[in-house]
Structure 1
Amino acid sequence: MIRERRNKTKLKVYYDKFVKEGVIDPNVHPWVAESWQRSENLGVGKETFCLKAKLSEQELAGRREKYGTAISFLDGLYEEIKEHFTTYNLSMLLLDQNIYVLKNYAMPFYQKTAGELEGARLGEEDVGTSSVSIAYKHRVPFLMFGPEMWIRDCQSGDACTVPIIVDNQVKFMVTVVSVQQDELPYSAMVAMVLSIKYAMEQHLKVMASLTATHTILDAVPLAVYHIFPGGEVAYANKLGQSRLSGIVPPGNEDREEGPNLSNVLLNYRHTPLYRGFLGVPSYNREVTWITPRKTYEDITTVVPLRGDDNDVDSIVAVSLPIEDLRTLVAHTAGYTARYSLSSLVGVSNTFTSMLDKAGRMARHDYHLLLQGEPGTGKQRLAHGIHQASSRAAGPLIAVRIGDTPSDVLEMDLFGRGGSEAERRPGKLELANGGTLFLDEVEKLSAALQEKLADALEANEMSRSGETVARPIDVRVIAACDSDLKKLVEKGVFSARFYEIISHAVVRVPPLRARRDDVPGLANHIIEELAALHNLPAKYLEPEAAELIMSYDWPGNIKQLQGVMEQAFFRTTGTTITRADIVMPGERGLSKAWKEDKAAFIEVWKAAGGNISRLANMLDVSRVTLYRYLKKYGLDKD
C-alpha cells in the first residue's frame, strides 16, 4: 500500500502514546497498529536493532546459490542505478521468502554493516514493526515512515518494501530505505521500488519458463538447435550439445564458443539448414551430415524464423539420430530380454557352474558362443546374459539362421540400400548399442560368415546394394547345436569367423546331465502355463516327478516342455498325476491333424494359438507348422 506523506511529528506522538500508555490513536494505520500490538506481545526490544536469528556462512552461501537468478538480476539492476543510491543515501536489501537477508546493497542499513546484516532474519518476531513485516504479511507494497518503526534506532529513515510474487507465492522481498527524505521525493522512491518489483517478477517468470523449457528439451530424445545465418549455433539442448562435441574439428576442442556448422559440415550447402536460410522449410527428412570426424544420419526438421521485415533471421533444427530411432523401434517391437539369469531354473552342480560362468561372461563385452544340444535353453540363456550385461538398456535382436533362406538372410542382417522408399536397416543396425543373437549359427553360408566377420572386425557395415560405411556397436551371442570347432577343423565353417565369436564359450549341459533339475523345470513350465492362460495353478505329484526323472530327454528342455504342456491341458484338476503324462514314444496326440483341418484346429486351440508351443506338442518344426497353416488357410495371428 503506497501512502501519502504523513506528519512525522504526529506519528511520533502516536508511537510514544502506545509505548507509554498502550493506547492506539485512531489515526494510526490499522496494519501498523496491529503490528505494534503483536510486537509488544512478542516482547521485541524497542531501543536497539538486535539481530538474533542468523544463518551460518555455509547456510547463507547455500541460499545465495539456490537463489542465484534473483541475485544476479538485482546485481545487474543495481549496477545501473547505484549512482542514484549514493547521491540520495539509499540502501537496499534483498530478502528470501523466509525473510532472511540475502544481500545488502549500497549504504549501511540502520547502522549495520553488510557482514552483520546479511544472513539475518528481519521478521516481526526479530525487529518488530517494519515495512518488511507488513508487506510480507499482507502481500502488497508498503511505504512506512520512520516513527512507525518499532525500534527507535530505525526511526531516522523511511522504508518501502515490495513482495516479489511469482506463481501467486511470495518468493522474495526488496526493501529500500531513505535517510534523507527531504532530498528525495517519496514519489520517486516509490516509483523506483515498484519498477524493481515489476521488472524482477517478469524476469523470474521468464527464467522459470526458460528453465522448464530447457528441462523439457533436454529430456526429449531429439537434438534441438537454434542457428543464426552463417551457421553459428546460438542454442543446443543436451543431446544437441553431445552431437556437436563430436564434430568439432581437431585442435578446436578447447574453444568455448560453439562450432560454426558452415565450417564443420563438409556438405553444409547441400543440407536442409542451408535451404532453411533461403526460406525453405523441411519436415522429417533423412539427412546425412558429413564432418571431418564422422558421418551422421538423422531424421531432420528445419523451420525458418522470420523477423518483422519477413526476412529469415534464424532457423530451428530438430533432428532424431537414426541410431536412436532404431533403438526406439527395436524396443517398441519387443526386442528386449524376456528372461534374466536368475529366472533360469536348476540346482544341480553342472547347471550352477554353467550359470556362474555365464554371469561372469555377461560382464565382459566380447562376443560369446553358446554351445549345446538342441532344446537345452540356449535362447533363454542369451536373454539372461544380455540382461546382465552393460548393454541391457539396448535392444536384443534375435535371428534364427535356419528359418531364413540365405539370400533373404543377408538383407535381413545387413539391410537394403537404394532409394528413400526402398532402403531399410538390417538387424545389425537395429542391434546397435545392444546384442545380436545368432541362433543356429552353424547354418550360415560361407559368404555371410565372411561378410559378418568383416563387419565385426571393422565395427562398420554397408547395406546390401550400397557402399556407404555405417558404424555399428554390436555384441554377438552365437548359439550352435553342434561342436563348431570340429566344423572348423573339417573346413565347413570359417576359422576367422569362429575366432571372432568364440572369444568365450559357454557349454550348455543336456538335460540328462542334470537329471535332478527335471522336476523343478517341469513345475516351472506348469507355473508359466497357468500364468500365461490365466488358469489355476497345477502341481506335479511325486510319482509323476519320478517318472519324468527316469527319462533321458534326448530333446532336452524343449521336449520336456512339450510333454508338460500336453499334461497341463489334459489335466482337469489341480494335480498332474503319472497317468496324465504321455511320455515320448507312447501314444500321444493323434496324427490326424496332418490330413484333417478340424483335427489341426483342435490341437491349434489346445496350444493357445502359439506356434512354438504347438511345435513342441507335435514335435515338429515351426516351418512345418507354417506350411500347414497355409494349407488350411489359417492366420497364424
Structure 2
Amino acid sequence: MIRGPRSREKLKAYYESYMKTGRPDPNVNPEVAASWAKSRAYGAPTDRIHTDHRLSREDFAARQRLHKEAISYLRHLTNNLRDFFKEYDISLLLLDEECVILKSYTMPFYQMTPGEIEGVRVGVEEIGTSSVSMAYDLQQPFWLFGPEMWVQDSHESDACSAPIFVDKKMRYIITMVGMHYQNMPQEAVMAVLKTLCYGLENYIQQQTRLKAQEAILDVIPFAVYHVQEGSEVAYANKLGMQRLKKIGIGRKDNKSFGTKLSDVVLNYRHTPIYSGFQGVLSHNREVTWITPSKTYEDITTVVPFERDSEDAVRSVVAISMPIEDLRTMVAHAAGFTAKYSLSSMVCASAAFSSVKEKALRLAKGRTHILLQGESGTGKQRMAHGIHQASPFATGPFIALHCGDVTPELLEQEIFGVSISREVSHPGKLELASGGTLFIDEIEKMPTDIARALAASLTTMESSRIGEETSRPINVRLVAACDTELRRLTERGSFDKSLYEVLSHSVIRIPPLRNRKEDIGVLGEHILSELAGLHQSSAKALAPDAVDFLMTYEWPGNIKQLQNVIEHAFFRTEGEVIHAEDINLFGDITLDARWKEDKEVFIKVWRVAGGNISRLSTLLHVSRVTLYRYLKKYGIEKSKIDS
C-alpha cells in the first residue's frame, strides 16, 4: 500500500497516544493499528532494533548458500544505483520468506553495519511494526512512515518493502530504508523498488524453470550438448559432462570448457556436428567418434540452432546415446528380462538346496556358468534366477537356443551381421552387453562358432559377420547342456576352448526322480503359480495325489510334472486334487493314434518313462504288441530314451 505524505506531527501523536492507552486513534491506518496490536502482544521492544534473534554463523552461511543466486543477482542489479542510494542515505536489504536479512547492500541499516544486521530476523515478533512486517502480512508493497514504526529509534526514517513472489508463493522481501525522511523521494524510491522487484522476480522464475529443465536433461539417458562455432561446448548435461571428461574435455571454470571438440575428436570433420554447422540436420544417425584414447559409437541427432543475419549457423544442439546403452534400453523394452528368481525354485530336499546355494554363490561373481542336467530339470529357470541374483541384474537377459536355428543363422544370431555399408545388425552378444546371455543346448553349437564365441568371451570384444570392426562387450554367458559336456569335448564333439571358458563354474541339476521328496512342494508351487496367472481360486494336492505322483519316475522331469499338474488344475472342479484326477499323459489323448503316428507313440513312450510294463498297463495292450510297434516304426529303445 503506497500512501501519500502524512503529517508527521499527527503520526507521532497517534503513536504516543497508543503507547499510553493501548487504543489506536481512529485516524491511524487500520493495517498499521492491527500491526501495533500484534507488536504489543508479542512484547516487541520499542527503544531500538535488537539483534538477539540472530541465526548462528553456520545456519546463516547455509541460508546464504541456499539463496546465493538471488543475493548475487540483486547485487548485479544495484551496481549502477549506488550513487542514488548514497545521495539519499538509503539502505537496501534483501530478506527471505522468514524475514531474515540475507544481505545489506548499501548504507548502514538503522546505523548498523552489515555484519551487525545480516542474519537477524526482523519480523513483527522481533522488532514490532515495520515496512517488512507490513509487506509480509499484507503480501503487497507497503510504505511506512517513521512515526508509524514500533521502534522509536526509527521515527526519523521512512521505509518501503515489497514482497517477491515465485509460483504464487512469497520467496523474498526487498526493503529500502531512508535514514532521513526529508531526503527520501517517494516516487523515485518506488520506481527503483518496483524495478528491482520485477527484475529479481523474473530472474528467480527463470532460474527455477532452467533448473527444472536441467534436472530433466540430467536424468534422461541421452548426452545433450550445445556446441558453438569453433566446436566450443557451451553446455552439456550430466551424461554429456561425464562423456566429455572421458575424452579429456572438462570445465576450465564454472562457465566454460577448456578444450574444443575438434582438438580431441580426430574425425571431427566427418561427424554430424561438423555437418550441422554447414546447415545439415542429422537424425538418429549411427556415428563413430575417434579419440586418442578410445573409439565410441553413438546414435546421434544434430539440429542447427542459432543463425546470424546471413543465415550462417552459429551453434548446434546435439543429442546422442551410446549404442551399448540404446541396446540395453531396447532389450528391456522388448522384455529381455529375467522372469524368475532362485527363490522360485522350491524344494524340500537337502540335495537341491545345496544346488541352489551353489547357484547363488556363483551368481554373485562374474565368471561364466555351465548348467548341466536332463531336459526339463529347470535349467532355464535357474539361468533366470542367476541373472537376477548377479551384478548383471540391471542389464538385459537374452536367451538363445542352439537347436532352433541353422549354423549359418546361429552365427549371425550370436555375432550380428553387416549386410551393407549402411545396414548392420548387432548380435545377441552385443545386445546382452551389460547383462546375461543364456545359450540353451550349447552342445549343439558347431565347433567353429564355439571357437569364435570363446575368443570373444576371452577378449570381451565382438565383431559382426562381414565387418572388421571390434566392439567392446561386457556379458556373462550362462550355458545349458542336457548331456555331460566334458565327455563331448573329450570325444572332439565340442570345442575345447569354449568348454574351458565354461568349465570353471559348473552346476549340475539333479533329475526329478532323484529328488522325489520335492514333488509335493513343487506341485503346490505350480498350482499357486497357475492360480495367480489365471486369476482363479487356489487348489491343493491331496496326500493321495502326492503319493501317486511320487510313484512315477518322471522322465520328463519338472517340465513333465508341470504339464500333468496343469492338466489336473483345469480339469478338477473342486479345490482339492486327488489321485484319480491326475492323468500322467497330461494333454496326450490315449486314443488309437499311437498305432498310426510315430510321434504320438514316442510321446507316450516317454511319458511311461521307457518302461514297457508301465506302457502296457497304460495302453491296455500286451508287451508283445508294443515290441511289434517298435519294430514297425524302425526305432530302438535306447534311441527313444535319449
Farther-moved stretch of structure 1 (433-442 vs 215-224):
215-224
**Matched residue, 1:242:** 242
The 1:529–1:37 alpha-carbon spacing in structure 2 relative to 1, beyond 3 Å, is: closer
1:66 Cα deviation (Å)?
A: 2.2
Q: Decide whether the 8 Å contact of 1:359 with 1:385 is kept in 2.
A: yes
SS at match of 1:297: strand
Relative to structure 2, which stretch is displaced further, 89-98 or 207-216?
89-98
Distance 1:593 1:124 in 2: 97
**Equivalent-residue separation in structure 2 for 1:594 and 1:338 (angstroms):** 40
Aligned to 1:193: 193
Contact 1:244/1:259 (8 A) holds in 2: no
Q: Secondary structure of 2:343's partner?
A: helix
Q: d(CA) in 1 for partners of 2:356 and 2:296? A: 40
Question: Where in structure 2 are the equivalents of 1:154-169 lying within 5 Å?
Answer: 154-169=154-169
Give the corresponding residue for 2:173.
Answer: 173
Cα separation, partners in 2 of 1:587 and 1:127, compared to 1, 3 Å:
closer
Q: Distance in 2 between matches of 1:248 and 1:73?
A: 33
**Are positions 1:202 and 2:202 aligned together?**
yes
For residues 448-493 of structure 1, give each alpha carbon's deviation from its aligned partner in whole angstroms, at most 9, with x where no partner exists. 1111112111111111111121111111111111111222222222
- Counterpart mapping for 1:101-140 below 5 A: 101-140=101-140
- Cα displacement (A) at 1:523: 1.5
Tell me the residue number matched to 2:527: 526
Question: Partner residue of 1:625?
Answer: none
Offset at 1:586?
13
Counterpart residue type for residue 517 of structure 1: D
State the TM-score, normalized to the length of structure 1.
0.88
Secondary structure of the corresponding residue to residue 109 of structure 2: coil
Q: Say whether residues 1:269 and 2:269 are aligned partners.
A: yes
Q: Contact 1:267 / 1:289 at 8 angstroms: preserved in 2?
A: yes
Distance 1:570 1:436, change over 3 A: same
* Corresponding residue of 2:572: 571
Please report how far the alpha carbon of residue 22 of structure 1 lies from its aligned counterpart in structure 2 after TM superposition: 4.2
The aligned amino acid for 2:46 is K
Alignment check: 8 A CA contact 1:582 1:588 kept:
no
362-371 or 13-22, larger mean C-alpha shift? 13-22
CA separation in 2, counterparts of 1:272 and 1:456? Answer: 33
Q: Number of aligned pairs?
A: 595
Distance 1:420 1:218 in 2: 34
Q: Which segment drifts farther, 134-143 or 37-46?
A: 37-46
8 Å contact 2:156–2:181 — kept in the other structure?
A: no
Question: Residue by residue, what CA displacement relative to the aligned partner does 1:124-178 show, whole Å, maximum 9, x if unpaired?
Answer: 1221110001111112112222111111012232212111111111101111212
Tell me what 2:66 maps to.
Answer: 66
After TM superposition, give the deviation of residue 230 of structure 1 in Å: 1.4
Shift, 1:183, TM fit: 4.0
State how far apart, in whole Å, the 2-side matches of 1:194 and 1:253 are.
Answer: 37
- Name the counterpart of 2:436: 435
**How far did 1:253 drift?**
9.8
User: Aligned ranges for residues 195-344 of structure 1 at < 5 Å?
Assistant: 195-248=195-248, 257=257, 259-307=259-307, 309=309, 310-344=311-345
CA distance 1:9–1:557, change in 2 (3 Å): same
1:142, 1:332 → 2: CA distance? Answer: 58
- Deviation at residue 587 of structure 1 after TM alignment: 8.5
- Distance in 2 (alpha carbons) for counterparts of 1:147 and 1:419: 88
Cα distance in 1 for partners of 2:361, 2:80 equals 65
Paired residue type of 2:209 = S
Give the secondary-structure state (helix, strand or coil) at the position aligned to 1:201.
Answer: helix
Say whether residues 1:418 and 2:419 are aligned partners.
Answer: yes
Write out aligned runs for 1:576-595 (5 A): 576-583=577-584, 589-590=590-591, 592=593
In the alignment, which residue of structure 1 is the partner of 2:32? Answer: 32
Q: Between the two proteins, what is the percent identity of the paired residues?
A: 51
What's the offset of the Cα at 1:88?
4.0
Please give the alpha-carbon distance, in whole angstroms, between the structure 1 residues aligned to 2:243 and 2:455.
27
- Secondary structure, counterpart of 1:424 in structure 2: strand
Distance in 1, Cα, partners of 2:48 & 2:523: 86
Matched with 1:624 is none
Q: After TM superposition, give the deviation of residue 93 of structure 1 in Å.
A: 2.1
Counterpart check, 1:400 vs 2:401:
yes
Structure 2: distance between partners of 1:323 and 1:75: 47
- 8 Å CA contact retained: 2:349, 2:518: yes
Deviations 1:420-449 (A, max 9, x none): 664221111110110000111111100111
Aligned to 2:493: 492
What is the match of residue 608 of structure 1?
none
SS of 2:574's partner is coil
> For 1:210 and 1:557, how far apart are their aligned partners in 2?
58
Counterparts of 2:477 and 2:417 in 1: how far apart (Å)? Answer: 21
- 8 Å Cα contact 2:542-2:576 kept in structure 1: yes
Match of 1:197, as an amino acid? C
Deviation at residue 344 of structure 1 after TM alignment: 1.2
Q: Is the 8 A contact 1:368 1:477 kept in 2?
A: yes
Q: Distance in 1 between matches of 2:114 and 2:369?
A: 68
> 1:479 corresponds to which residue?
480
Residue identity matched to 2:517: D
- Structure 1 position 354 matched with structure 2 position 344: no
- How far does the alpha carbon of each residue in 1:609-636 deviate from its partner, in whole angstroms, 9 at most, with x for none? xxxxxxxxxxxxxxxxxxxxxxxxxxxx
Does the aligned pair in 2 maintain the 1:233–1:258 contact within 8 Å? no
Which amino acid is the alignment partner of residue 460 of structure 2? N
Structure 2: which amino acid aligns with 1:432?
A: S
Asked if 2 retains the 8 angstrom alpha-carbon contact of 1:418 and 1:466, the reply is no
Is the CA contact (8 Å cut-off) linking 1:416 and 1:426 kept in structure 2? yes
Which SS does the other structure have where 1:416 is aligned?
strand
Q: What one-letter code is carried by the residue in structure 1 that aligns with 2:164? A: I
Q: Give the 3 Å change call, closer, same or farther, for CA 510–254 of structure 1 in structure 2.
A: farther
